[in-house]
Structure 1
Amino acid sequence: MRRVAIAVAALLYVMPAWAQHSHGAKGPNGGKVEDVAGVHAELVTSGTTIMINVLDEDNKPISVKGFSGSVLIVSGGDRETVTLAPSGDSSLKGEAKKAVAGNAAVTLMLKTDKGKTGQARYTK
């Protein structure tokens, strides 16, 4: 019984931290936002264009100078890796060979200017 009480207390302690990060929430540009490599990354697609907007904890744009990344797009039997490059001050951009389908799974691999790396998965 004591273990259950400790487990419940631990969950109550960490729940506010979970509430701060709503994975898959809509970002300021209408895309889904995920936490990756210590930043928020918002995925926005339009046709063949893939845009990752890089945001701070308050969803404010941050500089992508020194950032790099790529996305793996999987739709049905199709798989494509797209390299992302800085585009403007706070975005990484790439072009796919085909339009990104509505049922696509997109996996982002991101490296920050400080060398921190991470992955995030989005479903369209």
Structure 2
Amino acid sequence: MTPRRHLAALLTGFVLAPVAGRAHEPRRGPNGGQKVDIGSNHAELVAEGNTLRLFLFDGADRPIPVAGVTAQVVILAGGRQATIALAPTGDTVLAGTGDFVAARGMRAVVTLTLPGQRPAQARFTPMDQN
């Protein structure tokens, strides 16, 4: 690597490090699912069988009421893709079922829209948690 490219790579790392430092790594949530950042909030995705449940939390990890919230999940599992709409099923949980079976290696992309806010997306690997 030339000295110029080495310097450019080093400076890129310094510029991007503060951005990467703000995001949380995926972690286990209080409901046993994978919890990740989504917009300025957190979401926990629990996958069981062909059912998904999505729990929402604010920045201080307090549950967010889901009235008026819409969510859609694109699942990649078993070599197939499925799109599932989630609907409120309680005060703080959205749920939906689809044509998939939760298994290791599955991937999920959640698009979440809270009332009066722009859509936010998050990626999950709900069955591959540490």
Instruction: Give me the TM-score of the superposition, normalised by structure 1.
Output: 0.80
Paired residues, number: 116
Q: Deviations 1:60-100 (Å, cap 9, x if unpaired)?
A: 21111111011011024210000011111111111022322
The residue number in structure 2 matching 1:18 is: 21
Q: What are the ranges of 5 or more consecutive residues in structure 2 without an aligned counterpart?
A: 1-6
Structure 2 counterpart SS, 1:18: helix
Instruction: Give me the TM-score of the superposition, normalised by structure 2.
Output: 0.77
Judge conservation of contact 1:27–1:59 (CA < 8 Å) in 2. no
Structure 1 counterpart SS, 2:43: strand
Letter in 1 for 2:67: K
Match of 2:83 among 57, 78, 81: 81
Q: Return the alpha-carbon distance in structure 1 between the equivalents of residues 118 and 25 of structure 2.
A: 20
Structure 2 counterpart SS, 1:53: strand
2:65 pairs with 1:63: yes
> How much has 1:57 moved relative to structure 2?
1.5
> How much has 1:47 moved relative to structure 2?
1.1
